[in-house]
Chains A and B, each alone.
Chain A
Amino acid sequence: MMAAMSTGGGEPGSQAESRTSRSPQAMLERRYARLGLLLIAPSIVVFSAVIIYPLLAAIYLSLFELYTPTLEGGFVGLSNYRELLARGEFWVSLRNTLVWTAGTLSLQIVFGIGMALMLHQNVWFRSLARSLILFPYFVSTVVAVLVWRWLFNDLYGILNHLLVEARLIDMPIDYLGAMPNAMISIILVGAWKYFPFVVIAVLARLQTIPDVLYEAARIDGAGPIARFFDVTLPQLREVLLVIVLLRAIWDFKEFDLIFLLTGGGPVISTQTLSLLVYKEAFALNQMGMGAAYGVVMMAIMLVFMIFYIRQARKGDSS
């Protein structure tokens, strides 16, 4: 997997033959290269149309001061960028985004691995248990958020009621309107919603770990915890590297869940960069500024991603 993550997939086929390339062989190679390009062409076309073009448009827009409904306004160069970096709100939102991403991602990974290990064992009604666990990932964010808001409700919500009943609290908790509750709540709901993805991937990988490895560890006298750290975790390393990357990107970009759950409040304590982009572009009608925030957001992700892949590769080669 790391090979795939680095750049190429597996080494292209028939390498030995191509070394001793003679004329017909070279022709075949060229034909293959053309075929390869032909096969990737649809992807490139779609990418250019729906991704590259809007991306360039966004970068272009970020150089203007634009009123969203008319897209009229003047060229301002880099001043949007200068202004946003000087704004406190940007840095607060960036911090919120990082807290949210780190918090929810680590919970997803921990719960995900834990649950996968449990479901890998022989549990009663295992198939039903697996389906139930995967359910949060299937419901749409809109639905998940509504269900949670209904659970969290201060007057008619079951959660407060159960906690009061169990005498764990004596006043209803304000889950979404106060800090740090609001941040904790969105992190928990995010973890609940997305940890099944980790479960699926880890569970699949667990099934392919040869039993011999565990046997050997047992003979060496390793207990269950030692076996987890010495056998399971190293085997999971590759799949986890990929999952962390995919999930981190998704979480960093998350909009629906936070927007519908807290709308960024209280004040701006849970306002992440995605919400800030939306607010600038569609609430304040400052399309240029919104686009600038979006571009900066992407740049930040890019830096993180490159750093991460570097580290992962370094770990790979050692």
Chain B
Amino acid sequence: MQNTHDIGPTRSRRALLKALVAAAALGSLPRQALSRSAELRWWTPQGAPAQLDAYRYQIAAFEAVNAGVSVVLEPLSDESYATQLAAAFSSGQVPDVVTHLPSFSVQSYYARGLVEPFNDVIEAVGPGDYYPGANNVFRAADGNYVATGIGNSAVNILWLRTDMMERAGLERPPITWDEFRAALTKLHGRGIYGTALPYGRNSATSLVFIGFIHGAGGQVFTPDLQVAIDSEETRNALEYYREIRDFSPRGATNYSWGDCLTAFVSGATATGLYTGRVLANVRDQNPRLADHITCALWPRLSRDIPPWTFNDFPSVFVPAQSRHKGLAKRLAAFLFEPEGYIRQLHAAPGHVLPVLRSIGEDRRYRDNDIIRKYRDEVNLMAEAAAGGYNLGYESNAHRANEKAGEIIASGVIADMVQRVVLNRENVDAVLSRTARAIEEVMKG
């Protein structure tokens, strides 16, 4: 907290000054003219207040060892970063460092030559220190790395209320879909919903549902990226997703990530799907639940199917058009310095998990109220996340999919879910239509 107050006022004074100058001169001064030497712009869509504080700490430390360099933090919103990056790329006025974008977005930009290869940064951080395979998802078709992970997150984690499970006579978390359905039936009722899953027209629904396809043993693409969504497994997943619809609140038809999280944290549901951010939010917003929550891997159709954890692989990368690539890479590597990196991880404990083994085992990282209190949960998530996948990287055998970002953004998968689950349209027709729409995006 200390450093917020140190940095806050000066920052806003500087910001104010800039705004005044810009307005008074009616733009005769472009921004560059204001900075004496290099100014780096850092974009991130992960901008919770505590996280911003941690970033500012890292910036101050970086500026202290790099005289004449200033770093401007520019938080974006999750909904709009694609638009803002598109404008930035097309104009050449790009940020110098971008963090916390999902791996598949970076792959898509790299394929168009917009991203700087990142091999040297990974070298600088120390390739041996990463958890095994942590950078696989960032390998491009040409063999280069397009970015590196700044954290891991296990997104489709099943959160459970232990007090309610006890009351319902459930001894352990459900492992299969049948068990999950049976558990929901017992937990649902008397004003408490069984769970809260997204059925909205948004990326949350698409991404969560991809997890269900894999939970049924299916996949969206074959390893050589042929569309494979029109399958029996997807049919099963759709049917199951429809069956458990009524265990979620009425408004789930418009739910995105935040709604699912809040529904569980506020105590309105007995189970929930989200990352480890649940832990910090319970502590801050609803501490009454703190002793009654635990988590497990998301259930799947049968025990024979391996669990598939969705990890969006929050990344750090440097745009190719950056005018200070060297410095930007130095900043990117600097973000992994233990002192600052641990602060960053502690800003959202359990949500962004470390990618470096030395950090995961570091006493200073372990020394955090949440990480101590929920040791088993955090370990479970860390392990699941490290072995996680996403649409850009459905399995170890899959080639990197450069179009994954566009497929999510196009909303075809959420559309499919809504058509089948809410509109009860014919499954076969919807599936063949979805497959065609995905092929369309792959071609475009």
Q: Which residues from chain A sit less than 8 Å from chain B, CB to CB?
A: 67-72, 152-156, 171-178, 262-268, 279, 282-286
9 A-B pairs with least C-beta separation:
A177-B253, A265-B201, A154-B251, A69-B89, A283-B409, A177-B254, A282-B83, A68-B86, A176-B254
Minimum CB distance partner of B440 in chain A:
A284
A151→B133 CA distance, assembly (Å): 46
B82 touches A173 (CB 8 A): no
B109 touches A69 (CB 8 A): yes
> Which residues of B lie under 8 Å from residue A279 when comparing CB positions?
409-411
> Which residues of B lie under 8 Å from residue A156 when comparing CB positions?
266
> Which residues of B lie under 8 Å from residue A172 when comparing CB positions?
249-251
> Which residues of A lie under 8 Å from residue B411 when comparing CB positions?
279, 283
A209→B418 CA distance, assembly (Å): 53
> Which residues of B lie under 8 Å from residue A268 when comparing CB positions?
201, 415
> Which residues of A lie under 8 Å from residue B406 when comparing CB positions?
283-285
B86 touches A264 (CB 8 A): no
Minimum CB distance partner of A154 in chain B:
B251
Residue B200 at the chain A interface, CB threshold 8 Å: yes
Interface CB pairs A-B, < 8 A, 20: A69-B112, A154-B250, A155-B249, A155-B251, A155-B268, A172-B249, A172-B250, A174-B251, A177-B199, A265-B201, A266-B200, A266-B418, A266-B423, A267-B418, A267-B419, A268-B415, A279-B411, A282-B82, A282-B86, A283-B406
Residue B114 at the chain A interface, CB threshold 8 Å: yes
- Beyond the given A155-B249, A172-B250, A263-B202, please list 14 additional residue pairs across the A-B interface where CB-CB is below 8 A: A69-B89, A69-B109, A70-B89, A70-B90, A70-B112, A152-B251, A154-B249, A155-B251, A172-B249, A177-B199, A178-B422, A263-B200, A267-B415, A283-B409
A148→B112 CA distance, assembly (Å): 40
**How many chain-B residues does the 8 Å CB contact rule pick out?**
36
Known contacts A155-B263, A171-B250, A267-B423: A68-B202 contact under CB 8 Å: no
A285→B85 CA distance, assembly (Å): 11
A153→B85 CA distance, assembly (Å): 32
Interface set, chain B 51-89, CB cutoff 8 A to A: 82-83, 85-86, 89
Interface SS of chain B = helix
For residue B77, give the distance in angstroms from its CB to the closest CB of chain A: 12
A128→B61 CA distance, assembly (Å): 54
Interface string of B83-99 (1 = CB under 8 A from A): 10110011000000000
Partner of A283, one of B82, B90, B200: B82
Residue B444 at the chain A interface, CB threshold 8 Å: yes
A13→B136 CA distance, assembly (Å): 78
Minimum CB distance partner of B196 in chain A:
A155
A174 touches B419 (CB 8 A): no
Known contacts A69-B90, A71-B90: A266-B112 contact under CB 8 Å: no
B418 touches A265 (CB 8 A): yes
> Which residues of A lie under 8 Å from residue B305 when comparing CB positions?
none
For residue B323, give the distance in angstroms from its CB to the closest CB of chain A: 18
Known contacts A155-B249, A283-B410, A286-B444: A265-B254 contact under CB 8 Å: yes
Residue B381 at the chain A interface, CB threshold 8 Å: no
Partner of B201, one of A69, A267, A286: A267
> Which residues of A lie under 8 Å from residue B83 when comparing CB positions?
282
> Which residues of B lie under 8 Å from residue A72 when comparing CB positions?
112
Most buried by A among B85, B409, B422: B422
Partner of A173, one of B109, B250, B266, B415: B250
> Which residues of B lie under 8 Å from residue A176 when comparing CB positions?
251, 253-254
A262 touches B254 (CB 8 A): yes
B86 touches A266 (CB 8 A): no
Most buried by A among B90, B255, B266: B90
A284 touches B250 (CB 8 A): no
Minimum CB distance partner of A286 in chain B:
B444
A264→B418 CA distance, assembly (Å): 12
A178→B251 CA distance, assembly (Å): 9
A67→B112 CA distance, assembly (Å): 9
A284 touches B252 (CB 8 A): no
For residue A183, give the distance in angstroms from its CB to the closest CB of chain B: 13
For residue B384, give the distance in angstroms from its CB to the closest CB of chain A: 28
Minimum CB distance partner of B425 in chain A:
A267
Minimum CB distance partner of A178 in chain B:
B253
A67→B201 CA distance, assembly (Å): 24
A263 touches B201 (CB 8 A): yes
> Which residues of B lie under 8 Å from residue A153 when comparing CB positions?
251
A70→B83 CA distance, assembly (Å): 12
> Which residues of A lie under 8 Å from residue B90 when comparing CB positions?
68-71
Minimum CB distance partner of B114 in chain A:
A69
> Which residues of B lie under 8 Å from residue A152 when comparing CB positions?
251
For residue B220, give the distance in angstroms from its CB to the closest CB of chain A: 17
> Which residues of A lie under 8 Å from residue B444 when comparing CB positions?
284, 286
Minimum CB distance partner of A176 in chain B:
B254
For residue B409, give the distance in angstroms from its CB to the closest CB of chain A: 4
A67→B82 CA distance, assembly (Å): 13
Interface string of B211-250 (1 = CB under 8 A from A): 0000000000000000000000000000000000000011
> Which residues of A lie under 8 Å from residue B418 when comparing CB positions?
265-267
For residue A197, give the distance in angstroms from its CB to the closest CB of chain B: 28
A14→B86 CA distance, assembly (Å): 55
A249→B298 CA distance, assembly (Å): 48
Interface set, chain B 398-417, CB cutoff 8 A to A: 406, 409-411, 414-415
A152→B259 CA distance, assembly (Å): 13
Residue B20 at the chain A interface, CB threshold 8 Å: no
For residue B305, give the distance in angstroms from its CB to the closest CB of chain A: 29
> Which residues of A lie under 8 Å from residue B409 when comparing CB positions?
279, 283-284
Interface string of B242-281 (1 = CB under 8 A from A): 0000000111111100000001001010000000000000
> Which residues of B lie under 8 Å from residue A286 when comparing CB positions?
444
B251 touches A177 (CB 8 A): yes
A155 touches B112 (CB 8 A): no
Residue B23 at the chain A interface, CB threshold 8 Å: no
Residue B441 at the chain A interface, CB threshold 8 Å: yes
> Which residues of A lie under 8 Å from residue B266 when comparing CB positions?
155-156
> Which residues of A lie under 8 Å from residue B268 when comparing CB positions?
155
A264→B414 CA distance, assembly (Å): 12
A285→B402 CA distance, assembly (Å): 13
Known contacts A68-B86, A69-B109, A178-B253: A266-B422 contact under CB 8 Å: yes
For residue B217, give the distance in angstroms from its CB to the closest CB of chain A: 27
A250→B440 CA distance, assembly (Å): 33
> Which residues of A lie under 8 Å from residue B82 when comparing CB positions?
282-283
A266→B198 CA distance, assembly (Å): 12
B114 touches A264 (CB 8 A): no
